[in-house]
Structure 1
Amino acid sequence: MDHGLYEWSALPDRPRLVWPGDARLAVGVVLQLASADEDVTPGLRAASLLGGLGKRPHPDVPLLAHRAYGHRVGVFRLLDALEQHGVPATVAMDVATATRYPFLVDHVLDRGATIVAAGRSAVDLVSEQAAEEVERAYIADTLDALERLTGTRPRGWFGPEYSESTRTPRLLAEAGVGYTLNWVNDDQPYRMTDGLVALPPTYELDDANALLQRKVTISTYGRMLTDAFDVLYRESSDSGRLYLLHLRPWITGQPFRIGQVERALAHVAAHREIWRASTDDMVQAFLQPA
């Protein structure tokens, strides 16, 4: 261990994890609604973003339009797929999206989604380059704005592009955040030193990582989704596991990709002893097992 953010814990040595209803596997999906065209805090700007046609001069219309597809079209396809297979939606939303697209706020809330805080915008990242007081204000401003715009203060945090500083877990806990989705290093939730719960998505099933960065084919990606579920389901016979996907509507909400997500969700739904849940409910169950 080269840091003190959490204690060392080998999965085979842990107490048995029990999900509600004695389910073997907790299943959830986090949809990311992030805007790429927001002014940013000095010292926090992302060097580059996936999408579009590569780095281009401002205004980068292909990048902005490509990502805007998710807000205009893709998110509705993914929400429909989740609803069809009974998976509650968790939406990681940034302040820019909540401010500029009030229709989307109302729509996802009307469909019962849980909203997780995702910073100010896709290009406004948390990093060590900003002073502690700047990051503290960033977190507070994000939570305050989302509470004002959505009606509920988010309990969870998902940093834009998984971004953090070495201070972030402590500052999130001080701000009253209960859990983070940034730490993609486990198949179960775990407690961090500063009081947060880490709820890890599977990073290699992240659609941007798989499809755009590693250029996995869409058919291979579909097999990855089902193969990962099958292994986790098999291993969960002794202790509960977590199958948590992170999807972006501008990527997997595309008409030529949504079919693989739908097939994977159908595969999941065909199994017994699974618990479909929002990230809020997963953390609550982890902290207060039945």
Structure 2
Amino acid sequence: MTTRRNFIKMAGLTSAAVMANPADTFSNPIKEEKIKLQTQNKWLDGSRLVVSVSMQFEAGGQPQNAESPFPQNMQKGYNDFPAETWYQYGYKEGIPRMLDNWDKHGIKVTSHMVGSAVLQNPQLAKEIVQRGHEAAAHGMNWSSQYAMPYDEEKKFIKAGVDAIKSVTGFTAVGYNANWLRRGENTLKILQELGFTYHIDDLSRDEPFIIQVNKKDFTVVPYTIRCNDIVLIEGKNFSSDQFFNQVKAEFDQLYAESEFKRRQLSISFHDRIGGTPQMVKMTSDLLEYIKKHNGVTFKRKDEIAKMALEDKTSIRE
């Protein structure tokens, strides 16, 4: 199969070969490069395709009268009590149900935790880590950090990390800004605070390495195509529609993974992905994915580490 990436590399090699020796245009160097390209499609651990699952832990950290399925028509000065219960569902029912589902399928996920949500529900945050999942930072609250001055943003990020550490004992090395909207200083701050990756990027279907403060830093791409808050709440998808969308994404990426490194990202939010219908749909989806050879499920810190250690990782 000829892919665009292979075509570009092969075209460059062919041109060089023609200039050097027209008679040997399609000789051994080209074949050797094709073999080299085929070895670069595999992940460092030999996986064909890696599935990255996110479980957002946000409920309890939301601002007063935060957006919800209810009409945004509350008069000022009043509390939206029904909306509060919608968020409460996330930590009372949603995350516990999802945790049982991950155990059922033997997979580990990354939980992006809002610091104030962790402090409100410490036992649940601790349980997530004790059950083998990654605790990643998601800010101290739902503030728009992109508008913060440097020092304020650094304190904001560190406060979230400290909350996670104090409750779970886990040191977060991955970051997700509110609605992915980081600021001009965010990556520099993350590098200074000891993070190894961030996910606020939609530009690829595989991790890649960038330079931040003249050091390697990993981007583990996120998704809005396979994201329950975008599809279920934003577009009013049914659980069946969500299943079919993610399945189609997986099928295409799995086909591509024969020739290049691929990552499937799926994102769930505590009060949405943890509903009975969504967990049942997710269970069926995981069963389908697990039937395919070479597919592995990894936490995002594992993906970032593997990308940093892989000399064939894309660098930008």
Tell me whether the two structures share a fold, i.e. TM-score over 0.5: yes
Partner SS for 1:188: coil
Range that drifts further, 108-117 or 143-152: 143-152
Contact 1:86–1:276 (CA under 8 A) maintained in structure 2:
no
CA distance in 1 between partners of 2:5 and 2:188 (Å): 24
The amino acid of 1:125's aligned partner reads S
Equivalent in the alignment of 1:72: 92
Shift of 1:124: 2.0
Contact 1:27–1:243 (CA under 8 A) maintained in structure 2:
yes
Q: Does residue 162 of structure 1 match 2:180?
A: yes
Residue number among 51, 76, 79 corresponding to 1:27 in the alignment: 51
Shift of 1:106: 2.2
Q: Which aligned pairs between 1:2-41 and structure 2 lie closer than 5 A?
A: 16-37=40-61
Partner SS for 1:203: coil
Shift of 1:38: 5.5
Equivalent in the alignment of 2:133: 113
Contact 2:115–2:164 (CA under 8 A) maintained in structure 1:
yes
The amino acid of 2:50's aligned partner reads A
Equivalent in the alignment of 1:103: 123
RMSD: 2.2
Instruction: Tell me: higher relative CO, structure 1 or 2? Use CA pairs within 8 A at least 6 residues apart.
Output: 1
Q: Does residue 189 of structure 1 match 2:210?
A: no
State the TM-score, normalized to the length of structure 1. 0.86
Partner SS for 1:256: helix
CA distance in 2 between partners of 1:237 and 1:28 (Å): 18
Runs (5+) with no aligned partner, structure 2: 10-36, 312-316
Q: Which aligned pairs between 1:109-148 and structure 2 lie closer than 5 A?
A: 109-121=129-141, 123-127=142-146, 129-148=147-166
Equivalent in the alignment of 1:89: 109
Contact 2:108–2:299 (CA under 8 A) maintained in structure 1:
yes
> Which whole-Å deviations, capped at 9, do the CAs of 1:229-265 have from their partners, x for residues lacking one?
1111110001221112111121121122222211111
**Regions of 4+ moved over 3 Å:** 10-15, 35-40
The amino acid of 2:250's aligned partner reads F
Equivalent in the alignment of 1:228: 249
Higher helix share: 2
CA distance in 2 between partners of 1:192 and 1:203 (Å): 22
The amino acid of 1:54's aligned partner reads P
Shift of 1:143: 1.8
> Which whole-Å deviations, capped at 9, do the CAs of 1:101-155 have from their partners, x for residues lacking one?
111022112211110001112x32312x221221121122222232222212101
The amino acid of 2:303's aligned partner reads M
Q: Go from structure 1 to structure 2 and tell me whether the alpha carbon gap of 1:54 and 1:181 turns closer, same or farther (over 3 Å shift).
A: farther
CA distance in 2 between partners of 1:63 and 1:250 (Å): 11
Q: Does residue 201 of structure 1 match 2:219?
A: no
> Which whole-Å deviations, capped at 9, do the CAs of 1:166-192 have from their partners, x for residues lacking one?
221121112211101111221000122
Equivalent in the alignment of 1:7: none
The amino acid of 2:298's aligned partner reads A
Q: Does residue 53 of structure 1 match 2:70?
A: yes
Contact 2:55–2:110 (CA under 8 A) maintained in structure 1:
yes
Contact 1:201–1:243 (CA under 8 A) maintained in structure 2:
no
CA distance in 2 between partners of 1:165 and 1:36 (Å): 24
Partner SS for 2:263: strand
Partner SS for 1:242: strand
CA distance in 2 between partners of 1:140 and 1:34 (Å): 17
CA distance in 2 between partners of 1:264 and 1:29 (Å): 12
Q: Does residue 267 of structure 1 match 2:288?
A: yes
Contact 2:226–2:265 (CA under 8 A) maintained in structure 1:
no
Partner SS for 1:245: strand
Equivalent in the alignment of 1:219: 240
Q: Rg larger in 1 or in 2?
A: 2
Contact 2:218–2:304 (CA under 8 A) maintained in structure 1:
yes
Q: Alignment identity in percent?
A: 20
The aligned length equals 272
